[in-house]
Amino acid sequence: MDVLLFGIPAVVAIIGAIAMLLSRNAVHSALYLLLNFAAISVLYLLLQAPFLFATQLIVYAGAIIVLFLFVVMLLGAERDEDTPHANPWQNRGALVGGVLLLVELCLLYVYNPGTIPVAVDMDNAFAAPAEVAKALFTTHLLPFEIASFVLLTALIGVVVLHQRRS
Amino acid sequence: MVSTLMYVALSAILFVIGILGVTLRKSALMVFMSVELMLNAANLTLVAFANQWKSVDAQVMVFFVITVAAAEVAVGLALLVMIFKRKKTTDIDLMNTLRG
């Protein structure tokens, strides 16, 4: 049962990611990315992280994907990839590099299985939203304040970027 | 019981797909989406290990990653719109000069 619960979202996430990579239309890519994010949010739920499940859906699926779709449709840049790369070796090099990286990760997985113990039982709610909030507002209060500052900076940056030059 | 390794392996696969997206696709929008995919893969690893060690700290870290990703997307897409206004394209191969 656990394997099934993990397997279905995992397969959906991988399919969504590959479809995003291969889709020629940027709008379709954004929607496949949305599928991927939704599948990952289900995995968060399986990993006992209900707060991040909600955050993932609201921020990524709700805000970021909508922003992407908005910009894609605003620019009319759905199909802007007709010309080949300036560097003719880029596609082949990227594929070789990706395969090498995957092989390396698989080697780590094969040769080093003992160092990471199996996850223990998932019964206790160690990461209920209240616990996350406690950690956020006590131990990590300064980073939290800095995060709000980062968001404010981004906001001001966007406004300045789109200011009409006199 | 699904081990943490399965989650880490899934995260590795998603990360590699993200890297392939950054290198294979030419549209800056697609590169952005692939970066988001890679950030998500890293987040998945963090949450998996948070579950393994029963620690909330990694989840707080993921919260900050999501915050920074949101800020990055806002600024990045704003820059992209500005570049598109000038160059009428989102092709990253054509964005090779520092002065617009």
* Per-residue exposure over B80-90, b if at least 16 CB sit within 10 Å of its own CB, e if not: bbebbeeeebb
Q: Which range of residues forms the domain containing residue B48? A: 4-94
The answer to whether residue B31 neighbours chain A at the CB level (below 8 Å) is: no
Domains: count for chain B:
1
Higher pLDDT pick, A163 / A123:
A163
Whether the predicted model's global pTM rises above the 0.90 cut: no
Residue B90: give its domain's CATH number.
1.10.287.3510
Which of A59, A131, A154 is nearest residue B75 as measured by Cβ atoms?
A: A154
Q: Which range of residues forms the domain containing residue A76? A: 1-80
Q: How many angstroms away from the CA of B39 is the closest CA of chain A?
A: 11
What backbone torsions phi and psi does residue B54 show, to the nearest 5 degrees? 55, 45
Residue A46: give its domain's CATH number.
1.20.120.1200
What is the interface pTM, i.e. ipTM, of the complex?
A: 0.90
pLDDT digits (tens, 9 = 90+) for A101-149: 888 777 776 776 555 444 444 445 677 788 888 888 999 999 999 999 9
Nearest-5° angle of CA B60, CA A127, CA A109? 75
Could you state, in chain order, the average pLDDT of each consecutive group of 10 residues for chain B (100 residues)? 84 93 89 93 92 87 92 91 84 74
CB contact under 8 A, A13 and B10: yes
- Please provide the DSSP assignment of chain B as one string: ---HHHHHHHHHHHHHHHHHHHHH--BHHHHHHHHHHHHHHHHHHHHHHHHHHT-SHHHHHHHHHHHHHHHHHHHHHHHHHHHHHHHS--BGGG---S--
